[in-house]
Structure 1
């Protein structure tokens, strides 16, 4: 697997990396609080940590839903996280002209699942030279990602991560096929499992997205067991009152206990892979 440098951390197979933070930036105070708490937790557990939050959620279910503080204010807050807490940061972009601006602050760019086939967006992200985390669209198979990879790699950027977040067949639900993780690993890049967006119920609350966070932990365990290198997990102090994606976000107070169990799964699987056992 190719090792990817994101800020001051290496994404490799020595320990799974965690990308985490609130779905959308609600306030500077909220972001700094979550980022600091997550840094403390992951530092204690020895998990490489990248902070994530969005300056704009451009694909909300309702036109009246909160989208975020916008590009300039959002990047200002993310820069504060990066500078004061010395934590790498990532955010998603939705338009090609946002790539170069965001790249002045963040350590990695993220391509939303619905936009992973947008050539101009992929090329613009690649041309910044930053690592690019590409979420596999809900309507694509793992093998369909080969063309997506090519668009970035042939734009002279081989710093790619591939992210699984489930497939949709309509009816306000997502299904996670773990074989997608296995197939995407064959491309040689780190594979990310988005444990919280995978439990979404898109449009399930009519004017907002629903979800069920009780499935986050078991799906994350399964993903690590089949070979995921990175976990993506949105966390919030009070998900039930969050301004975006509340039903599928993990409660901040529950993150540490969950990660302790996930570490055990990761180490157990890697131990089996590295040793031969006779029964």
Structure 2
């Protein structure tokens, strides 16, 4: 774990060679949901010695249908994400979609996430960099790992060397994604922490019904392979009841399935490190 990660997790007790976890619901649906997930996941991670970052989007700007749920209000949601972080003494992250959102979100969270579709947007990367926060850039579904060097360069040249990269699969045909694990090795060679998004990589986007599909039964497969190939961290969206989640329910992990999965992954990590 590099010094950047050590500083972020300085108030957490964890196994030094463990992967770190970014996890939470897709979107801030309500105070009850984010607090339940934050409490449950932080407790599991403390027990297993996993450094943990709480994740929730304050708003969803990229939805299949114009009628899809997009949020409860930016400031309300950001304050709830911040409350989770303060209550459970954990770092937090959320995604931003436009230049002017960078400074707004940075006032509430520790890590800014750049969505995959926006990873080439130079002005957005520069705006995020100027906040001084850690910037986690998701690899576009249309890019390979080595090309993400240019996203990293844009942020570093803007004066911020705190950059992470996250793989979330590549488009395969029109309505499916596949994960090429060579990308983990290639992105690690850039010299930044690399994360595997175990849930969005199982999406089946642009379904004709206007709701994105998914294959959550394969989350364990994606996560195991990522640990085996050297990922520094895992990204897992989780919800107490994905069937009623207001966003990405089709590919989220049910909350009560998270602990047994993480137990397996901790054992696997110990075997391959």
For the aligned pair, the TM-score class normalised by the smaller chain equals: over 0.9
Q: CA RMSD in A?
A: 1.6
Map residues 133-152 of structure 1 onto 2, 5 A cutoff: 133-152=136-155
- Out of 35, 38, 60, the position equivalent to 2:63 is 60
Deviations 1:164-216 (A, max 9, x none): 00000332100100000010000111000000001100123530110010110
Map residues 138-217 of structure 1 onto 2, 5 A cutoff: 138-204=141-207, 206-217=209-220
* 2:135 maps to 1:132: yes
In the alignment, which residue of structure 2 is the partner of 1:276?
A: none
- Out of 86, 90, 114, the position equivalent to 1:87 is 90
Distance across 1 between alignment mates of 2:73 and 2:242: 21
Deviations 1:88-123 (A, max 9, x none): 100000011011111111000000000000111100
Gaps of 5+ in 1: 271-279
Distance across 2 between alignment mates of 1:181 and 1:204: 28
Kept after mapping to 2: 8 A contact 1:103/1:109: yes
Number of residue-to-residue matches in the alignment:
270
Distance across 1 between alignment mates of 2:15 and 2:49: 14
> CA separation of 1:191/1:8 partners in 2, compared to 1, >3 Å: closer, same or farther?
closer
Q: TM-score scaled by structure 2?
A: 0.95
In the alignment, which residue of structure 2 is the partner of 1:9?
A: 9
In the alignment, which residue of structure 2 is the partner of 1:273?
A: none
Kept after mapping to 1: 8 A contact 2:165/2:193: yes
Q: TM-score scaled by structure 1?
A: 0.93
Distance across 1 between alignment mates of 2:235 and 2:111: 13
Distance across 2 between alignment mates of 1:65 and 1:78: 21
Kept after mapping to 2: 8 A contact 1:7/1:88: no
Kept after mapping to 1: 8 A contact 2:114/2:135: yes
Map residues 213-232 of structure 1 onto 2, 5 A cutoff: 213-232=216-235
Give the secondary structure class of the aligned counterpart of 2:220: helix
Give the secondary structure class of the aligned counterpart of 2:83: helix
Cα distance, 1:124 vs structure 2: 0.5
Give the secondary structure class of the aligned counterpart of 2:93: strand
In the alignment, which residue of structure 2 is the partner of 1:122?
A: 125
Distance across 2 between alignment mates of 1:191 and 1:70: 31
In the alignment, which residue of structure 1 is the partner of 2:38?
A: 35
Kept after mapping to 2: 8 A contact 1:3/1:12: no
- Out of 248, 251, 255, the position equivalent to 2:258 is 255
Cα distance, 1:144 vs structure 2: 1.1
Distance across 1 between alignment mates of 2:270 and 2:208: 38
> CA separation of 1:248/1:208 partners in 2, compared to 1, >3 Å: closer, same or farther?
same
> CA separation of 1:8/1:146 partners in 2, compared to 1, >3 Å: closer, same or farther?
closer
Give the secondary structure class of the aligned counterpart of 2:21: strand
Cα distance, 1:142 vs structure 2: 0.7
Kept after mapping to 2: 8 A contact 1:17/1:230: yes
